């Protein structure tokens, strides 16, 4: 039996970026307080969280302070140190969800792919890279191009390098500058994602989202995805299989490839709320951030049902160099029915930096997603950081 009192439980979050900000916004109506740990003073989550501890993501003293103030720990960035979290949790008795063991698996893409393949999750052909010859061998076996990936540290496309020919192998490996793996290049029909939630003896999935990336950075998410019913069901099955491998409660962003013949292949996993799930704030009965809060606390999960078709578009820095963040010409966005602006509170804008997002939701469930997508693109095109 779940009981709520004042003050309510405290969620300690490693990371205070936009995910921490939206997590704190979702936790507050539930009576849950949030304390974040982030190295940037007055980080994006600070204005809406109860407090911020200014410390690096792997600062053991800072994480011990966070654990002392929290009922449960979680993280909104994979730069959290799994060994520190594990040690602090054991010493303090403050649980961590998802478990540090899951973060350890996710941190290394090669380890991740091996564990998932061993569990029967469909993944593109891959291999470890110890030298440029391994890339050339992959081109022989998989065909060109192939995708070279940094095993650790990459996100938002960072650390992913397409290799078009054997002659490019040396330069590509040098650009990754660390341990690497290589995958076959998937000829996909579309990229999709399942935002899945692992609760206390229950699992839930949000409706399938279709993702549009440019230069490896997410630009748009369309819900429901323009996939066949059979492909969508296969995606949910793969997502549930992935959750079987993951240890600990919380939201998982599961990125997938849908091939022209309807096959579903795993791309990558984020053991936290994901950019492609931000649409859920307006588009679903409960958001991914509310679900993450519920899950890590061990509370019953909410409904993940679709409210209405929704399109998300990211607001990225359209500048040539770093400057003060000022988003101009937002009047049309604010005046458009069904449009919602989310500003992340970052003080500086850089080229392609995620500064906020916009969702456009329909009035009824039978709305045309193509029209929503067109509106979202028009609204995104109308605003700018250039001054």
Query: Residues marked as binding for ATP?
Result: 109, 149, 183-186, 191, 213, 267-268
Contact criterion met (CB below 8 Å) for 251 and 272:
yes
C-alpha–C-alpha distance, residues 336 and 290, integer Å: 26
Token pair of 195, please? Answer: 């935002």
Q: Pinpoint the alpha helices (H) of the chain.
A: 18-27, 60-69, 82-92, 100-107, 109-118, 132-142, 169-176, 229-245, 280-283, 288-297, 331-335, 369-382
Query: Residues marked as binding?
Result: 109, 149, 183-186, 191, 213, 267-268
Cα–Cα distances (Å) from 227 to 188, 281, 282, 310, in that order, read: 12, 22, 22, 15
Contact criterion met (CB below 8 Å) for 45 and 16:
yes
DSSP string, 88-122: HHHHH---BSS-HHHHHHHHSHHHHHHHHHHTT--
Token pair of 361, please? Answer: 């939701």
């Amino acid at each position: 039996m779940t009981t709520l009192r004042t003050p309510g439980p405290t969620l300690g979050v490693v990371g205070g970026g936009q995910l921490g900000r939206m997590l704190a916004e979702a936790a507050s109506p539930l009576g849950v307080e949030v304390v974040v740990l982030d190295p940037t003073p007055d980080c994006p989550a600070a204005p809406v969280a109860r407090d911020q501890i200014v410390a690096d993501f792997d600062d053991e003293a800072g994480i011990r302070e966070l654990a002392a103030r929290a009922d449960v720990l979680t993280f909104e960035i994979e730069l959290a140190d799994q060994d520190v979290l594990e040690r602090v949790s054991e010493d303090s008795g403050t649980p961590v969800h998802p478990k540090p063991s899951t973060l350890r698996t996710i941190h290394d893409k090669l380890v991740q792919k091996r564990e998932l393949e061993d569990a029967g999750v469909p993944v593109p052909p891959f291999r470890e890279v110890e030298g440029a010859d391994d890339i050339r061998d992959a081109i022989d076996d998989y065909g060109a191009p192939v995708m070279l990936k940094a095993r650790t540290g990459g996100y938002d496309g960072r650390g992913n390098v397409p290799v078009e020919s054997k002659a490019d192998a040396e330069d590509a490996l040098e650009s990754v500058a660390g341990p690497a793996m290589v995958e076959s290049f998937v000829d996909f029909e579309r990229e999709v994602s399942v935002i899945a939630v692992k609760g206390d003896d229950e699992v839930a999935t949000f409706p399938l989202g279709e993702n549009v990336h440019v230069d490896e950075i997410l630009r748009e998410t369309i819900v429901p995805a323009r996939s066949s019913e059979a492909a969508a069901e296969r995606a949910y099955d793969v997502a549930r299989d992935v959750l079987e491998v993951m240890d600990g409660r919380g939201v998982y962003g599961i990125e997938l490839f849908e091939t022209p013949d309807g096959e579903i292949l795993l791309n990558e996993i984020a053991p936290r709320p994901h950019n492609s799930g931000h649409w859920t704030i307006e588009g679903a009965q409960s958001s991914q951030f509310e679900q993450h809060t519920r899950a890590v606390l061990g509370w019953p999960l909410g409904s993940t049902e679709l409210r209405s078709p929704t399109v998300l578009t990211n607001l990225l820095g359209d500048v040539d160099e770093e400057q003060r963040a000022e988003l101009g010409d937002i009047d049309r966005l604010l005046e458009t029915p069904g449009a919602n602006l989310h500003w992340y509170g970052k003080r500086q804008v850089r080229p392609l930096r995620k500064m906020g997002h916009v969702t456009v939701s329909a009035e009824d469930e039978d709305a045309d997603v193509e029209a929503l997508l067109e509106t979202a693109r028009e609204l995104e095109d109308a605003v700018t950081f250039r001054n």
